[in-house]
Structure formats: structure tokens, C-alpha cells
Amino acid sequence: MEGAAEGILANAICRSRLSSPTNPTQLYPAMNNTSYANKVIVVTGGAQGIGRCIADEFRKQGARVCVIDKQPGPHFVGDIADKTVLETFAQTVIEQYGQVDVIVNNALPLMKGIDECTYEEFQYALNVGVTAPFYLVKLLSGHLAKGASIINLSSSRDRMSQPQTESYTAAKGGISALTHALAVSLAGKARVNSISPGWIETAYTAYEGADARQQPVGRVGHPMDIARLVLFLCSEQAGFITGENICVDGGMTRQMIYNGEHGWHFRDTE
């Protein structure tokens, strides 16, 4: 769950918000775009959550989707923190398809804070969140199709934090910076952009009450909010966009929060 407030600033119930539908069929009508037919799409961490939604949306458009995930299933199973796993996966994709149209670096690093995170765990988080995306792009860079696009999944935590989240936050900050570096290095070969989700409910729970109303848009995010943006950024309609980060958080990072104003109250937990 991305960007959920943990309690020192709370009680937004009294604030009025526009009601938003929570049924995905109301929020996300079917797309008729067929521009991804037979395109080769690589998605890391694509077996569940946001990654699965992204993979499914590309499949609906006729794309050939190559997923790698640690979870068992009908995809390439492996840990992207392992260099040899990435090399084998990349070679498999190249041998099967010859070229790649889209790379989506989505796999999540672990989240532990400075009190509990070991050196090895911190390195693992960076391997999953920064090193693996860099190396996968490097392995596939010689096989990018004309008009290729790369999307890196960052987080609103690349610009704000909760306590005890250092491993995750560092990895997400790294992938955001890597995005604009790759955009320049791969100019003419691929466009590279990143997305920073806020609170996205990957379990598809319909949150109501304060959880929803604290969001300026009046609801918690849905994986489809991210998937639809990925498809747009990879399309010709976004052909003049590269090196950018887009925060998709319902406006949460744009709120100025002060105790006693607009329904927000500070609760001292000490």
C-alpha cells in the first residue's frame, strides 16, 4: 500500500470531497486502442498488484507480454536481484522475439527502516529497485525496436517519507534519478519516463470514509490508474515526453497540512 498516512496527521473526515466511483468498470471504460498488437512488452514483478494490471492491459491490446516475477506461475520465475537470472531472462526474450518494444521496471524492493534494516537487506533493496532496472535495460538496449519506450515505477516516497522506510525510499529515489539519466543516454533509441504512485490499493479493497476523503480526489488509487498511464506514455500520443516523472497520488503530495486547519489534527504518539 503506497503512501498511506500512518497516524500522526489524521482525521480528515470533516472535509468535504467530491464523491468518486469505486467500481473499476465505471472508472475505466474499455480501451479500443490496438496500437500494441504484437508489440513485445517486458514487465518485471508482473505476477501481482500493479505489475499484473499493467501486463493484463497490454495483453488486452494484443501485445506479447514477457513477465518475470519471484512468484510461481506461467511466466519466467526468478529474482531480478540475481545478475545471472536477469541475463537468462533477457536472453530468453531476445531468442523468442528478437526485439523489445516496451520495458516496464515494476518489481518492488523491500521496505525496512534504519532501526531494523541490515546492510545486506539495504543492498538487496537497491539491487531490486535500481541495479536490476539498469542492468535489464543495458541487456536489452541493443534489441530495442524503433519507437521503444521504458517505464520505471517509482513512488511518491521519492519526494516524501514515513519513518522507518529507508530501504524502499532510497531505491525509489534512485529509480527516479536513473530515469532522466537513461532518457538522455538512450535519446533516439527509446523514450524513458517514470511514474510515482501514491496510495494504490492493490488488493482492490474499496476504501471509504476518512481513508478516501483525505485524498483530494476523494478516493484511494487503483492499479488501473497506473496501468492506463503506462499505456499512454508508451504510445505515439506521448512521443514528445521523455525523462519525466509523473506523480499519480490523487493530489496527496500537494496538500499543505497544518495542525488545526481544514480538519487536520496532530496526535502526539509519545
Q: Which domain holds residue 253?
A: 9-266
- CB contact set of 84 (below 8 Å; sequence gap of 6+): none
pTM: 0.85
Beta strands in 204-270 (DSSP E): 245-248, 265-266
Q: Which of 168, 204, 207, 258 is catalytic?
A: 168
Determine the 3-state secondary structure of 195 from DSSP: strand
In-domain check, residue 1? no
Residue 23 has a pLDDT of 52
More confident residue, 210 or 243: 243
Total domain count for the chain?
1
Q: In the numeric block, which cell numbers belong to residue 47?
A: 505476477
Average pLDDT over residues 236-244: 97
In-domain check, residue 4? no
In-domain check, residue 2? no
Among this protein's residues, is 168 annotated catalytic?
Answer: yes
Residue 26 has a pLDDT of 58
**What is the tens place of the pLDDT at every residue in 79-136?**
999 999 999 999 999 999 999 999 999 999 989 999 999 999 999 999 999 999 999 9
In-domain check, residue 162? yes
CB count within 10 Å of CB 236 equals 9
Please report, for the domain that includes residue 97, its CATH number. Answer: 3.40.50.720
Read off the pLDDT band of 12 (50, 70, 90). Answer: very low
